[in-house]
Amino acid sequence: MKNRLPLFFSALVLLLCSCNSSYKILKPKQEDNFKLSDYATFGFYDIEATGDTIPENFEKNTAIIKEAIAKNLQARGLDEARDANLKINIALSVKEKPQTRQTDFRTEGLPRYMGQRRYSWKSEEVIVGKYREGTLMIDLVDAVNNKMVWQGGSSGIIPEKSKNFREEMNQIIQEIIVGIPK
């Protein structure tokens, strides 16, 4: 038993290290009779975004996302075409959220004297930082009927600086597209 204990902890550490992704794949929605093999070509809808909320890397990042989708769909047997019978809509949503923590009298100090024997202390949420949470949705639309036939996506925390954005997007999109029925 003692010999197996270090092996067990080593396996547990490897498992935890491999599960450090900061995103989750959302459950896909699809039409009843949808199969990817019914379509030969795909194309993208134009992405329209305006305003001062668009970051400077928006066009570069959307090009990376489109490239990853195209590569994964081509691996599944579809060809990219201008007049495609399967259109792809990409929806991106990014929200900045506050990161908070709960105060605790054990770490924040003892209750303070407020006068007239009214000692008080209350727990509060304190903002300690901010983070960005993003959602990527991919909609597949039948171009003939103009009807959405499949929708899948991913949601998670966006790191401040990503050295391997292209590789991360390829991995996320590959996991999304694997869920499309053949």
- The structural domains of the chain, ordered by start, are 23-178 (3.30.160.670)
What is residue 54's predicted lDDT score, i.e. its pLDDT?
Answer: 63
Tokens found for residue 105: 């009298």
54 CA to centre of own chain: 18
Among the residue ranges 10-14, 46-50, 108-112, 154-158, the one predicted with the least confidence is: 10-14
Residue 173: Cβ-neighbour burial (10 angstroms; 0-12, 13-18, 19+): buried
Of all residues in the chain, what percent carry a pLDDT higher than 90? 49
pTM of structure: 0.74
- Give 2-39 pLDDT, tens digit per residue: 454 344 333 333 333 344 457 899 999 999 999 999 99
99-108, 111-120, 134-143: least confident range: 111-120
- Beta strands of 40-124 (E only): which ranges? 41-44, 79-80, 86-102, 112-113, 119-120
pLDDT at 114: 57
Quote the Cα angle for 15-19-21, to 5°. 165
